Structure formats: structure tokens, C-alpha cells
């Protein structure tokens, strides 16, 4: 059974086609490349991992609260709608809400896979092509991992409209740096913060492990965008930078709403959509979550030089300007360190992992 068969939303197209119009660029220099990017490329090679071998898929999710998230993490918690729910209805709300989150992670990772492959072709410098090639493999592995995790929920959701809109812009734009800006900075920056809430707050070991390992890779991807754009943006005219800042502000506002609007879940559960959206949008947990989402983006945007008045005003209005002082490298180092702690804590029942690997290999033959 395909994942699409578990969508509670009917008539979802099986494929999405985005027309492309850009030049594939060959770099005949074959020089040694920038030290920063070649170092990141080496890390990308050294830190490749196998989603089948590294993650213990014999673990399961909790029946009543799949990822064992705090009750307060549900956007409807404390609402009159929540108070009227039966135990079974609350369980379904948790299952669908958490599946919706993981579904968006999965959908975003496939988008990143396509964007990274576009960058390999389009970016003019060979060192960037090298690193982007490692990212293509990373993103394929992330799609694999989130698909395996989502299978355990028994329900999944399609890509939300706002995310689809931004991905469409990233793929259609003929300028290579706009793909970087949309995907490497905005989408992956927000995703890192969202992954982090599960890694740090959930109690289910499988859910925490998957997100920790994905974050280890994604932190490098964001660094790749930061290093590449930091070198490129000083070459642009002020008008060109203004255009990118306008796009950045619009994208941030768009995604800020996307990460918390679970309208599809309320519809699937037969809940009063208008009341649910209104409560969730104004809840304390949503306001906190929306702020936390920008802890990765703001310092990156400042570092790459898109720090004009319009950007600063937008971030001030969102209440996230304090993140401008965060050290992006320290965040990346922390993500790598935390992933290693999960490796150290793993307890593999004797033979269980090996049996799973053999089973997967057998299905592929």
C-alpha cells in the first residue's frame, strides 16, 4: 500500500509536476575550491549514514500518543472543543496532528531532494556542486526515514498549500541563488527548528532518534547555503539585494503560518474548522512555537548580508530579532553532538537490527 492510500483527504493527485527553465552550468576550472566549502564537502562524505542500519526500526510508536509529546503541544489543548472530546477522540487528535507534522517533514524533504539536484546542475562553482551532490543523497535518506516513521502512524497528509507555493517558486526560479534562499535558508531553517522540538521534547525514542539524525545533516545544509550566499550577495547591486529581501520577508510570513495551520486535520476529524483554527492560532503554544521557528533563520539571514530595513522590521514585528545574536556554527556543532549521544544510548536487542536489515535487503531482491 502506498502512503497516499492513507491520506484522509480524497482525490489527491499522485504526482506534482513543476516545469523548469534554467541553465545547467559546467565548471571547466576544476580548481581546488574554497576551503570552507571543501571542508563541508568532506564532512558531507564522512558523515553519510544508512537509515536502515543506524535506526532501530523494531521500535514502535505509542498507541495513544505516538511520539509521546506533552499534552500542551496539541494546538487544541485547553479549548472547549478539547474539553468535550472523549478519550478516543483525543487519541485520534494526537495521532492525526503528529502525523500531519511528520507528513510535512516528509514532503519538505522530497522538495529539498529536488532543489539540491537542481543546485548541482545550476550553481556555477564546482566546490558547490560537490557539496550539493552529498546533499542529494542526504535528502533521499531523509525521505526514506520519514516515510518509514510515518508508516507507523497509519495515516498521512499531503503537502500544505503554502509549502507547495514556496517550493514551486524555488524550483521555477531560473536564478540559482533563489533556490538556495528558499530551500537552504527558509524551508530548511524552519524545518530544523521544528525537528528540534520533537528531538528535545518528545519522549518516544524512535521519533527522537529520526529527528536527531536528520538534524545532523540539515545543519550542514543550512551552513552550505550560508557560506555560498555570503560569498555571492556582496556582488549584487542594491536593487538585486532589495528584490531578494522582499522575497525573503514574504517567504518567512508564508511559512510562519504554514507550520501551525493544521486545517486538514480538523476537516479529517470532523471538527468545527473555524473554531479550531481560531483557538490554535491564538494559543500560547502556537505563539511560542512560531517564535522558536526562527531561531535558525534570523542569524543566517544576518550573516549572508540580507539585513536591510525591511527584513529587520519584519523580524522585529515577529518578535524574533533576539535570534540575530545566535551563533549558527554553535547550533550546527550542538546538532552533531546530540546526534552522537543518540548513537551512544542505543540498545539493540540481540539480532533484531541484523534481522531487520536482512528483511529489507530480501524485499529488494
* pLDDT at residue 364 tops 60: no
What mean pLDDT comes out for the span 298-306? 95
* pLDDT at residue 346 tops 90: no
The model's confidence at residue 354, banded by pLDDT at 50, 70 and 90, is: low
The model's confidence at residue 9, banded by pLDDT at 50, 70 and 90, is: confident
What pLDDT sits at residue 348? 52
Q: Which of 42, 35, 45, 48 is nearest to 227 (CA)?
A: 35
Residues 6+ apart with CB under 8 A from 351: none
* pTM exceeding 0.85: yes
pLDDT mean across residues, the chain: 91
Distance of alpha carbon 215 from its chain centroid, rounded? Answer: 9
261-282 CB burial, b ≥16 within 10 A, e <16? bbebbbebbebeeeebbebbee
* pLDDT at residue 51 tops 60: yes
* pLDDT at residue 1 tops 80: no
What residue ranges do the domains of the chain occupy?
3-10+31-47+55-359
Instruction: Tell me how far apart the alpha carbons of residues 299 and 303 are, in angstroms, rounded to a whole number.
Output: 6
Which one has a higher pLDDT value, 330 or 12? 330
Here the contacts of 274-281 (C-beta below 8 Å, separation 24 or greater) are 275/79, 275/81, 276/75, 276/76, 276/79, 276/81, 279/75, 279/76, 279/79, 279/81, 280/75, 280/76
Fold of 3-10+31-47+55-359: Ferritin (1.20.1260)
Residues 16 and 164 sit within 8 Å (Cβ to Cβ): yes
Residues 6+ apart with CB under 8 A from 334: none
The model's confidence at residue 351, banded by pLDDT at 50, 70 and 90, is: very low
* CB-count exposure of residue 120 (10 Å: 0-12, 13-18, 19+): middle
Unique residue bearing C-alpha cell 502506498:
2
Distance of alpha carbon 200 from its chain centroid, rounded? Answer: 15
Please write the tens of the pLDDT for every residue from 216-275.
999 999 999 999 999 999 999 999 999 999 999 999 998 887 667 889 999 999 999 999
Distance of alpha carbon 203 from its chain centroid, rounded? Answer: 20
What pLDDT sits at residue 199? 96
How big is the chain by its Cα radius of gyration, in Å?
21
Q: Which of 191, 146, 360, 160 is nearest to 267 (CA)?
A: 160
Please write the tens of the pLDDT for every residue from 144-198.
999 999 999 999 999 998 899 999 999 999 999 999 999 999 999 999 999 999 9
Residues 186 and 251 sit within 8 Å (Cβ to Cβ): yes
Amino acid at each position: 500500500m502506498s502512503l497516499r492510500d492513507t491520506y484522509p483527504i480524497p482525490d489527491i493527485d499522485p504526482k506534482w509536476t513543476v516545469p523548469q527553465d534554467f541553465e545547467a552550468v559546467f565548471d571547466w576550472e576544476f580548481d581546488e575550491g574554497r576551503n570552507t566549502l571543501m571542508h563541508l564537502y568532506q564532512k558531507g562524505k564522512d558523515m553519510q549514514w544508512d537509515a536502515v542500519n543506524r535506526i532501530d526500526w523494531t521500535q514502535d510508536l505509542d498507541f495513544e500518543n505516538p511520539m509521546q509529546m506533552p499534552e500542551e503541544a496539541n494546538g487544541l489543548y485547553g479549548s472547549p472543543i478539547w474539553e468535550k472530546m472523549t478519550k478516543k477522540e483525543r487519541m485520534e487528535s494526537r495521532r492525526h496532528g503528529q502525523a500531519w507534522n511528520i507528513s510535512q517533514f516528509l514532503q519538505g524533504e522530497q522538495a529539498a531532494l529536488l532543489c539540491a539536484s537542481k543546485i548541482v546542475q545550476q550553481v556555477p562553482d564546482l566546490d558547490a556542486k560537490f557539496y550539493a551532490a552529498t546533499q542529494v543523497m542526504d535528502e533521499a535518506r531523509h525521505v526514506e526515514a520519514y516515510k518509514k516513521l510515518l508508516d507507523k502512524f497509519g495515516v498521512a497528509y499531503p503537502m500544505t498549500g503554502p509549502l507547495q507555493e514556496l517550493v514551486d517558486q524555488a524550483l521555477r526560479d531560473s536564478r540559482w541563488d533563489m533556490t538556495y534562499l528558499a530551500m537552504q535558508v527558509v524551508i530548511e531553517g524552519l524545518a530544523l527548528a521544528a525537528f528540534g522540538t520533537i528531538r528535545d521534547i518528545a519522549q518516544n525514542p524512535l521519533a527522537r532518534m529520526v529527528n536527531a539524525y536528520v538534524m545532523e545533516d540539515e545543519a550542514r545544509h543550512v551552513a552550505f547555503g550560508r557560506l555560498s550566499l555570503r560569498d555571492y550577495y556582496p556582488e549584487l547591486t542594491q536593487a538585486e539585494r532589495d528584490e531578494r529581501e522582499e522575497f525573503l520577508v514574504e517567504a518567512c510570513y508564508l511559512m510562519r503560518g504554514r507550520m501551525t495551520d493544521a486545517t486538514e486535520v480538523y476537516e479529517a476529524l470532523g471538527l468545527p474548522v473555524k473554531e479550531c483554527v481560531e483557538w490554535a492560532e491564538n494559543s500560547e503554544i502556537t505563539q511560542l512555537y512560531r517564535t522558536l521557528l526562527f531561531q535558525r533563520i534570523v542569524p543566517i539571514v544576518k550573516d549572508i548580508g540580507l539585513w536591510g530595513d525591511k527584513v529587520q522590521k519584519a523580524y522585529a514585528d515577529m518578535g524574533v530579532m533576539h535570534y540575530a545574536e545566535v551563533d549558527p556554527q554553535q547550533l550546527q556543532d550542538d546538532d552533531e553532538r546530540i546526534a552522537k549521544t543518540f548513537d551512544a544510548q542505543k540498545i539493540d536487542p540481540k539480532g533484531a537490527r541484523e534481522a531487520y536489515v536482512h528483511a529489507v535487503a530480501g524485499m529488494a531482491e
